[in-house]
Chains A and B, each alone.
Chain A
Amino acid sequence: MKEVSFRILSNRPLTGEVFEMKLSGDVSDFRGPGQFAEVALPGFFLRRPISAADLGENSLTLIYKTVGKGTGSMSRLTPGAELSILTGLGNGYDLSRAGETPLLIGGGVGVPPLYLLAKRLREEGKAVRAILGFNTKSEIFYEEEFRALGAGVTVTTVDGSAGTKGFVTDALPEKPGYFYACGPLPMLRAVYRAVPGAGEFSLEERMGCGFGACMGCTIETASGPKRVCRDGPVFRKEELLWGK
């Protein structure tokens, strides 16, 4: 963990409610995909946890949905502004378990951390397949960016306005392989039930600190109480007690 002052390079809407913010600053504390940042927003007491969607030499990309006052105010910040961000938080995805044909399953703003994961897995020469689920056509983002990495992409929309009609679980391949999932809880639980093999889930909880000090984010797991911020946010399937 490291507190870093970042400068906003760009902050643009990808869809009506989803924004992409690019920032420049020291990202040396990030170890890999699945880790997150805690962003201090002027006027708000708690920081906002947002996943690293992409990491560059000296740059960080955050993709966030405006769901409340904090992310709403974030969407109005302009290039040049400085933001205090805690970097390198949490334990990310375990790339060593990917196998040759990993499956990435993302829903809504669960898609962003999978972009960085897809990028790293492609760098390792893996045949990445991604299922990206959205509600409707106008909410789709980053489909082209995933394709540009050379990933095989299947888009699903609940209303059928683009791609496969239905949920991510309606587009599962014959042989899923090792999977990495991130998205809203009902989607994650559906994936947990639908995919028989091994994989990893990225979870969300409301956080007080984001670095393990307050016990605000604890869940019960197969190996006892775990803090989503410090021991997660990525958990292996067998760690979760979601039943069958």
Chain B
Amino acid sequence: MGKMSVDLCGIELENPVIPASGTFGFGYEFAELYDINRLGTFSFKGTTLYPRFGNPTPRIAETPAGMLNAVGLQNPGVEKVIAEELPKLRRVFSKKVMANVSGFSEEEYEKTAALLDKEEIVGWIELNVSCPNVHGGGMSFGTDPDRAARVTERVKRAVKKPLIVKLSPNVTDVAEIARACEAAGADGISLINTLMGMRIDPGTRRPILGNVTGGLSGPAVFPVALRMVWQVYEAVKIPVVGMGGVTSAEDAIEMILAGATAVEVGAANLTDPMASLKIVEDLPRVMEKYGIDSLADVKGAAHHG
């Protein structure tokens, strides 16, 4: 059997499959269905300094080959995450988890990340500077290279664990932002967050989503995500975590060939709760099919003649 393990910023992952933030809760819903220790790791729900209710419903709309969401970072706030969610997670998960952090000011990002950084179970901080569903925060940090660099630099000083900055696809030049984050001290880049979109109900003549706009994800975005992973891999030396529309082991391999060290799986978990596990289970077969002995060895292989 081929070698599935990969190194993500100094921590070994048994396999490169990582359920993406916002589609896997704090893990324990899925632990009722299968042993979530079989995953590489997972990224938990975007956490902010204070509790957030999020946006009014409807928060979900269907699209061809995907979905829009405008959840708006609903979470109980970092204190409750540490006091209530992480203890529940520890009962079902013995690996390191990726802590997804969001905020509305540099200070908020810094404080939230610093608190989560102290938690034993946290392996990486994933800094979400790319949420399109909140106003005055999230994505506004990730669409400007200077702001992205500033928040990266500030959080990097406050944490000891590897810092992965999660980028938005809603930019003209994603490579420029990735380079700015790398220069500011990021240990890794993950991408893509969702693409801004909307739907209108012709019956009511109104936008379907309570927030008007939402973020597109699912198979519809896969080629866009793959292209951006390709560009960022060429732009930086730090590891890249690829995501956007991954639903199969084949998709995961494409991401790795484009330059991803590991792969996150988002919307697929929502339509098939077993999706991430199925990818883990299917990888050996697909690796054999394409003559891949080690995933780490074929990382970025599509870039070389």
Contact = CB atoms under 8 A, between A and B. Distances in A.
Contact of A1 (B22, B67, B218, B273): B273
B53 A208 contact: no
B270 A208 contact: yes
B273 A216 contact: no
Interface residues of B, number: 35
B59 A213 contact: no
B273 A217 contact: no
Given A3-B274, A213-B25, A216-B71, A46 B57 contact: no
Contacts of B61: 206
A214 B70 CA distance: 10
B29 A215 contact: no
A208 B214 CA distance: 13
Contacts of A207: 60
A217 B30 CA distance: 18
A151 to B, nearest CB: 33
Interface stretch (A10-18, A91-99, A218-226): A218-226
The majority secondary structure among interface residues of chain B is: loop
A203 to B, nearest CB: 10
A151 B23 CA distance: 43
Contacts, number: 91
Contact of B271 (A46, A216, A230): A46
Interface string B13-34: 0000000001111000110110
Contact of A214 (B60, B62, B63): B60
Interface string B130-145: 0000000000000000
A47 B22 CA distance: 18
Interface string B238-276: 000000000000000000000000000001011111100
Contacts of B59: 206, 208, 215-218
Given A86-B273, A218-B53, A211 B29 contact: yes
Given A44-B62, A215-B71, A216-B71, A209 B53 contact: no
B65 A45 contact: yes
Nearest to B25: A213
A213 B57 contact: no
B156 interface: no
A213 B271 contact: no
B201 to A, nearest CB: 10
A230 B32 CA distance: 13
Given A205-B58, A206-B59, A206-B60, A47 B71 contact: no
Contacts of B74: 215, 218, 225
Interface of B: 22-25, 29-30, 32-33, 45, 53-54, 57-67, 69, 71, 74, 208, 218-219, 267, 269-274
A-B pairs with the 9 shortest C-beta distances?
A209-B270, A216-B60, A206-B58, A215-B74, A208-B60, A206-B60, A216-B59, A46-B62, A215-B71
